[in-house]
Amino acid sequence: MRKNLLLILVAIICSTAIYAQIPANIPNNGLLAWYPFNGNPNDESGNNKHLTNYNSTLVPDRFGKANSAYLINGGNYSYLYRSSSFPFGNDSSFTISVWINRNSNTSGRVAVQDQFYSGTNNRFFYGFCVDSLFTFYAREQLGISLGNSQVCQTSYSTGIWISFVGVYDNKVMKLYKNGILVDADTLNTTLSIGSTHTPFYIGDIYLGMIDDVAVWDRVLTPAEILSLYGTCSSLVINSPEDTTLSIMEDAAFVATGYGYCTYKWQMKQGNNFVDISNGGQYSGATSDTLIISNLEYQDDGMRVRCIIKNGLCRDT
């Protein structure tokens, strides 16, 4: 029983971190909705602004994690939808973030869109659209006529995942690609804003994959936007498994993360965890596999964990 106890404790400690709610690189302050698409279109910010899926298909995300992004097929009836939108206007401050991977740069109207109506049928549109360029826009429509508008645009490549963040701050618009500011502009007029909130769409007439959509009711800082590019939903793929070993045998613990990760193994001493260094019984202290050689009676009850980092993110 003593020999099994060592490994059981390790497995429990390492696996508990997989169930974290919001990653550290997703700012909580002002977060209205966050859609990581972990097997469904639910809002995991805690605000319950869930989406409904219409004919979109779950696919692997940029880390290769199954059923963690949506493929939109480019038709009129393939999108994610919420019946009411977010209450933004001319003088608002807000941020929208999205990851996309397009199959082609042919015309595809909207990746993320929101719109307001008024009693006079005026509309205020804002959001992202894509064709040969990626566009962050704000515009008005007066009845059936297009009114004033402003856009920020940038080029993009197909077949790869790209992070885009749009910031709107009292008519000042900024567009970030992979954490870097690529365009900025200022509205030179006041747009007509309606009072009735209409649907919020993700992927209406859009061909490609979409993931990690988030909306804030404030301007994110450049550092926060850069951290979004270092996304780490849950980094852990594999955590240690229970194993039965005998004295003088070697123990191997594996904790694999998504993408290019760094690893640091620690052991518990008293109330704290301290770093393990290579030497003596230990090897692989900064890799995904920790080896403890020649197990001894004094190793019984040892508790270890692995800290996994990917860019600006960490998991345990």
131-155 tens-digit pLDDT: 889 999 887 666 555 666 788 999 9
Domain count, the chain: 2
* Structural contact between residues 183 and 152, judged by C-beta atoms closer than 8 angstroms: yes
Q: For 63-72, 192-201, 263-272, which range has the lowest pLDDT when averaged over its residues?
A: 192-201
Q: For 96-110, 186-200, 218-232, which range has the lowest pLDDT when averaged over its residues?
A: 186-200
Domain range enclosing 298:
2-19+234-315
Structure tokens at 154: 């940038």
Structure tokens at 316: 């345990």
Q: What is the CATH number for 117?
A: 2.60.120.200
Q: Compute the average pLDDT of residues 2-25.
A: 45
26 located within any domain: no
Q: For 14-18, 76-80, 232-236, which range has the lowest pLDDT when averaged over its residues?
A: 14-18
24 located within any domain: no
| Per-residue pLDDT reduced to its tens digit, 112-132 | 776 655 555 566 678 898 888
Vertex 252 angle, CA 248 and 256, to 5° = 175
Of 191, 208, 229, the position where a domain reaches its end is 229
**Which amino acid appears at position 18 of this protein?**
I
Indicate whether 179 and 250 sit together in one domain.
Answer: no
H or E stretch including 3?
helix 2-15
Record the pTM.
0.68
